Amino acid sequence: MSQRFHLIVEFDGGAYVGWQRQDNGPAVQAALEQAAFAFSQEKVHVQGAGRTDAGVHARAMSAHVDFNKPCDANRVREALNALLRGHKIAVLAVSAVPDTFNARFSCLGRSYEYRILNRRPEPTFDRPYCWHVRGPLDHQAMQEAAQVLVGHHDFSAFRAAECQAASPIKTLDHLSVARSGDWVIVRSHAKSYIHNQVRNMVGSLVQVGLGKWTARDLETVLVGRNRQAAGPCAPAEGLFFWRAWYDEADGPGANPRFFDHPLSPDAAV
């Protein structure tokens, strides 16, 4: 009888072509599956809560994997991390879960954080983990404009050309913009997203922050459903998959410190 485990995984997306296994380069999913095979001698499938593009990072990607032989959760974590040495991937936590749990389909919501370094000098330490915008950004105008996008909409204006989603209609539960010193942080929550939605929304919000657009302009873009009219796609390196959640009590609506603690290994149980 197989045992299912819930994994919380952190990774630096700059080293990978994305989460999903692909033929054109190393993927996070493939690295985890190779480590799991080396540990168990079983060919397994690691199912993630979502997909990330090349260059996008994760603070706490949720995933699950099944092993046929009996395993201790702590041993699974230690073995996978030992076998992942040399990769920019860490398994932060492992917990045994019922086989009814599915990292993707049991998920109630997914949260992202986008980081903009807003100053004139070039970044030194943070270059791989942010979008550097030199011009001053009005984060309050960005926050006001962001509320235009919250709700149930056709997000065609923020959809990648290669998006394979059946529909561009999604419900965005939360979108906020805040400043902390030189950092402008954009945070979003939704059950699901279309391809490049967050990065395309951030690119348009920066147009507002630079004073090139108003909130009304952003609304016109949303209603117009024309990707060519929207702002640029923000660089992948600024985007972090923050958390997936499986219990409303653990979600951003109930947990005021949701973004302080990306690691919640028991959220799936």
* Catalytic residue numbers, as ranges: 53
Give the type of residue at 2: S
- Cα within 13 Å of Cα(174), Cβ side: 15
Q: In which residue are the tokens 């507002």 written?
A: 208
- Spell out the alpha helix ranges (H) of 150-234: 197-209, 215-224
**Distance in angstroms (rounded) separating the CA atoms of residues 126 and 238:** 10
Angstrom distances, CA of residue 109 to CA of 14, 43, 101, 254: 24, 29, 15, 13
Relative to beta strand 57-67, strand 131-133 is unpaired
For the chain, the farthest-separated pair of C-alpha atoms sits apart, in whole angstroms, at 60
